[in-house]
């Protein structure tokens, strides 16, 4: 039974679709069918929202690990994380059953549900969402245990992220807004079904499982020597085949996918990861 549900947006202050959706739900109310869920709303980083930036001092969505929550850092996001951990968590003994944290990405990832483990709840949620919204992508990030993720949503007993794109930072696109609303409402429909229970048997679904980050190639001085190839750009979750172009070098040559297996690239050319030279992330496809 999900007794306490928190819907969070503005964890990154320039990801406007979730922020606007929460504003609209706070002002106009949630659709009536969700009344029984009584979710709480939280705009996580109001200072960053006001400034239309991802964060002021540090990424809020990387703060929720014990060593950071216990440190006495005076950074804006570090103290904000301690406050959110007290309000929704604490992480080691959560008072919130389910945290839905809404993000958007500059990558063309469509409507993506990010789950962080393969427990029964997450598998049922993934199947429900894929069944109700076939155009949604399910991304599984289980490369580390749930509690070791630094994400805000992990202060809940269950936590997931809504990730929709492509949308430039600080900009609101209607198509991205609509996908964000549809995916979030589908997750809330799952919550209703979960609480009413038992859930119907749902068909298995394909899920992208996070592999690794692929960095831009750099020269000896740390300068980029290539950009994402146009045939990869905006093709998030489309299979990247062995030998297919990945990077276009500034000298005119191309670098190709050297692995013997296809991969499912995503977060391609994500603006927030540009400063760390991440070009995209890889994934394999599994069935849950």
Catalytic residues, by residue number, are 163
Instruction: Please identify, using beta-carbon distances, which residue of 19 and 240 lies nearer to Zn ion.
Output: 19
- Closest contact distance (angstroms) between CB of 80 and Zn ion is 15
Cβ pair 237, 136 in contact under 8 A = no
Cβ pair 70, 37 in contact under 8 A = no
- What is the distance between the alpha carbons of residues 184 and 7, in angstroms, rounded to a whole number? 9
- Closest contact distance (angstroms) between CB of 282 and Zn ion is 20
- What is the distance between the alpha carbons of residues 143 and 132, in angstroms, rounded to a whole number? 27
Cβ pair 177, 17 in contact under 8 A = yes
Instruction: Please identify, using beta-carbon distances, which residue of 140 and 226 lies nearer to Zn ion.
Output: 140
- Closest contact distance (angstroms) between CB of 26 and Zn ion is 20
CA 8 from chain centre, in angstroms, equals 12
Instruction: Please identify, using beta-carbon distances, which residue of 103 and 266 lies nearer to Zn ion.
Output: 103
Instruction: Please identify, using beta-carbon distances, which residue of 12 and 117 lies nearer to Zn ion.
Output: 12
Binding residues for Zn ion, per CB under 5 A? Answer: 12, 15, 103
Q: What stretch of H or E contains 206? A: strand 206-215
CA distances from 224 to 76, 231, 278 (A): 31, 19, 11
- Closest contact distance (angstroms) between CB of 48 and Zn ion is 11
């Amino acid at each position: 039974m999900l007794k306490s549900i928190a819907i969070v947006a503005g964890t990154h202050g320039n990801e406007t679709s979730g922020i606007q959706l929460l504003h609209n739900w706070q002002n106009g109310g949630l659709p009536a069918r969700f009344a029984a869920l009584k979710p709480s709303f939280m705009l996580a980083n109001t200072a960053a929202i006001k400034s239309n930036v991802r964060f002021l001092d540090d990424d809020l969505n990387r703060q929720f690990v014990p060593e950071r929550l216990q440190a006495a850092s005076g950074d804006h996001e570090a103290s904000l994380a301690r406050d959110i951990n007290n309000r929704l968590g604490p992480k080691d003994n959560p008072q919130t059953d389910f945290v839905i944290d809404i993000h958007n990405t500059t990558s063309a990832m469509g409507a993506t549900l990010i789950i962080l483990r393969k427990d029964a709840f997450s598998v049922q949620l993934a199947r429900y969402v894929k069944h109700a919204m076939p155009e949604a992508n399910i991304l599984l990030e289980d490369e580390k245990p749930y509690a070791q993720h630094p994400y805000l949503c992990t202060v809940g007993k269950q936590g997931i992220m809504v990730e929709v794109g492509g949308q430039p930072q600080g900009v609101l696109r209607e198509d991205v807004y609509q996908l964000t609303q549809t995916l979030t409402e589908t997750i809330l429909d799952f919550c209703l079904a979960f609480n009413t229970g038992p859930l119907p048997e749902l068909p298995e679904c394909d899920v992208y499982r996070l592999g690794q980050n692929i960095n831009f190639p750099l020269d000896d001085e740390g300068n980029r020597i290539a950009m994402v190839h146009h045939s990869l750009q905006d093709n998030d979750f489309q299979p990247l085949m062995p030998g297919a172009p990945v990077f276009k070098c500034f000298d005119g040559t191309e670098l190709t996918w050297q692995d013997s297996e296809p991969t499912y690239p995503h977060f391609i050319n994500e603006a927030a990861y540009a400063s760390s030279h991440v070009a995209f992330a890889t994934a394999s496809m599994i069935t849950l």
